[in-house]
Chains A and B, each alone.
Chain A
Amino acid sequence: MNVLHSMAQGFSVALTPLNLLLAFSGALVGTLVGVLPGIGPITGVAILVPLTYAMKLPPESAIILLAGIYYGAMYGGSTTSILLNVPGETASVVTTLDGYQMARQGRAGAALAIAAIGSFVAGTMSVVGLMLFGPYLAKWAIRFGPAEYLALMVFAFSMISTLAGKNLAKALIATFLGLAFATVGLDPGSAVPRYTYGQMKLYDGMDFLVVAIGLFAISEVLVLLEETHTGQVVTAEMGKVWITFKEFLFSIGAVFRGSLLGFFIGVLPGAGASIASFISYTLEKRVSDRNGTFGKGDIRGVAGPESANNAAAGGALIPLLTMGIPGSGTTAILLGTLMGMNVVPGPLMFQQHPKVVWGLVASMYVGNVMLLILNLPLVKLFVKILLVPRWILLPAVTAISFIGVYSVNNSPFDLLLMAGFGLLGYLMRKMDFPLAPVILGLVLGEMMEKNLRRALSISGGEWGYLFQSSISITLWILAAVSLFTPLLFRKLKAVKDEAVTGEEEL
């Protein structure tokens, strides 16, 4: 496939006025979502998906808007990490370590600038990676039959369960809860109603958006009811958002290391932006910290992880687009949205929906440029948002969530369902159950069952068929290894758990 030709086609999609406007709005809303603590990218994306349906956007425009929110949030999260020592979302937790120190030394401007530049470089590199590896991976994945897909999904589930929470048993329970929710509704194979209890409204199954908004947004409101402090105060002096050429040269190595690392971590299912930023910080400290400056305001401690989390967000799109396997809660919602628009990601995606794929890739370039010009001058304005008192902000977010949920099916029943999942999400958060696996299980459950049944139809009910081809055997082994010997991950998890308490994996 001619990559340049494809890119030209992509830009012709991304540069239409509507899509430019959507990329801009996405980046803007995403930055706001990232700046506000408590509202993560997954909530932002989930609330806005129903609107893309209701506005009848074509799939490529919808995905451009949502992806804009996704990486805008990545970027916005780092702003508050640096200025206030408050990470807007998990992927920017490590940014606080050196970023906030820099801000206290009056170098906030340089930290914000390198975060922007690093994100831009990383975004660009992951776009190049997607162009190079995407079609290749798609060609390889085309040989996957139902048995191989089933094994791949099991692998993705075991990865996300291993990485998502502190307690593996709880993460696995969350995954199977999601799979159980996915069985509600008419069975696609035989049209038998399952777990509908006579409710006609459940025949179509539970909409993943209603579940996601309930689990993430509503439960967050319930959690925040407990907190007593009322607002943040901007303490750090910002200065000008710019860095000297010397500082730039000093940190460019960290940017490239972070980008490369982040990209490959992002490609793995289950390991998203947060883990990429944690590993990048650990690595950068080991490689560069010769004078013990890390943790005391070293610019490379901002450059590395900030590049890594953006690269990972891009890398995560590869398994999503080529195999239909999301690596995180947010990408699971993107997958569900595409499937809702009859665009089923998979090996044929590059041939059947080139407009969606290459339009998205091109809009990532465009979006990165927009974030750069949006953020450098406007960062002071964004931080002002934090001055809005909670008693206005949170009720308003709740009202927007209601609109989102209601407009999925124009059904008040969904609002009840949402309230129920809000309570469930609250209890799960309190008890340290991770939430992202529930969404992943719900979105992938039907496909998983389909592939299982298709595989057994091929073999005439012989279960051994699931473990026959070398690809599926490899994937089953990988799944088992990632579950039962998490030695490789234990240390990374320890680093992560130390810094993150009760936060949700993206």
Chain B
Amino acid sequence: MTDRLTGGLLLVLSLGYAYQARSFDVGFMADPIGPKAMPFIIAAFMFLFSLYLVIRPDPEPDWPVRRVWVNKGLVLLSFVLYAYALVPLGFLLSTTLQVTFLAVMFKGKIWKGLAAAVVASLVLYSIFVLLLGIPLPVGKIW
């Protein structure tokens, strides 16, 4: 069932992908086929193989139970929050928070996780910024 749904989704996506390519117009064509042709070719093959997936699906993969999905969702959400927090909070604070949270998710104790996170952030900061000279955000709230 999963494969059938995925195949169906990919069918729709390949049609949408090709449909959008129709608007890639250029006034002056430097080559005979222009920017549309490659997307059309890709979409055609994608459509074909997705159709095959709908017709001949694999056995169902073993999906995790709901509780694990919630954890995964939280972890992904934390990655998104990290992306938004990194510049305002700075590397040290946001990484400490992120690593603590992940440590808890991987069944560590929160205080140990926090300690590990502080050490990890400081070590990584020293290696990458001080030793290798790679700029990381310092934060805007300080």
Contacts and interface: CB of A to CB of B under 8 A. Distances in A.
A460 interface: yes
Nearest to A218: B79
The main secondary structure of chain A at its interface with chain B is: helix
Interface in A400-427: 400, 402-403, 406-407, 410, 412-413, 415-416, 418-419, 422-423, 426
A431 B61 contact: yes
Interface string A149-171: 00000000000000000010110
A490 interface: no
A353 interface: no
Interface in B15-53: 17, 20-21, 24-26, 28-35, 37-39, 42-43, 45-46, 49-50, 52-53
B130 interface: no
Nearest to B56: A169
Given A183-B42, A392-B103, A189 B124 contact: no
Contacts of B43: 180
B135 A410 contact: yes
B128 interface: yes
A222 B98 contact: no
A179 B49 CA distance: 14
Contacts of A403: 124, 128, 134, 136
Nearest to A417: B83
Interface stretch (A113-121, A342-350, A447-455): A447-455
Contacts of B118: none
Contacts of A456: 31-33
Interface residues of B, number: 70
B102 A194 contact: no
A213 to B, nearest CB: 12
Nearest to A170: B53
Contact of B95 (A224, A402, A410): A402
Contacts of B112: 391
Contacts, number: 183
A58 interface: no
A183 B100 CA distance: 38
Interface string B82-105: 111011000000010011101111
A207 interface: no
Contacts of A225: 68, 71-72, 75, 105-106
A478 interface: no
A55 interface: yes
B79 A173 contact: no
Contact of A226 (B20, B32, B68, B116): B68
Nearest to A188: B35
B99 A396 contact: yes
Most buried by B among A172, A392, A403, A407: A392
Given A167-B58, A407-B134, A187 B106 contact: no
Interface in A451-492: 452-454, 456-457, 460-461
Contact of A176 (B37, B45, B71): B45
Given A173-B10, A394-B102, A432 B86 contact: no
Given A187-B24, A432-B61, A173 B53 contact: yes
B126 interface: no
Contact of A194 (B3, B24, B136): B24
Contact of B50 (A173, A394, A400, A430): A173
19 contacts: A54-B132, A169-B52, A172-B49, A173-B49, A176-B49, A179-B38, A183-B42, A218-B79, A222-B75, A224-B106, A225-B71, A392-B103, A394-B106, A398-B99, A406-B86, A422-B76, A422-B79, A453-B32, A456-B31
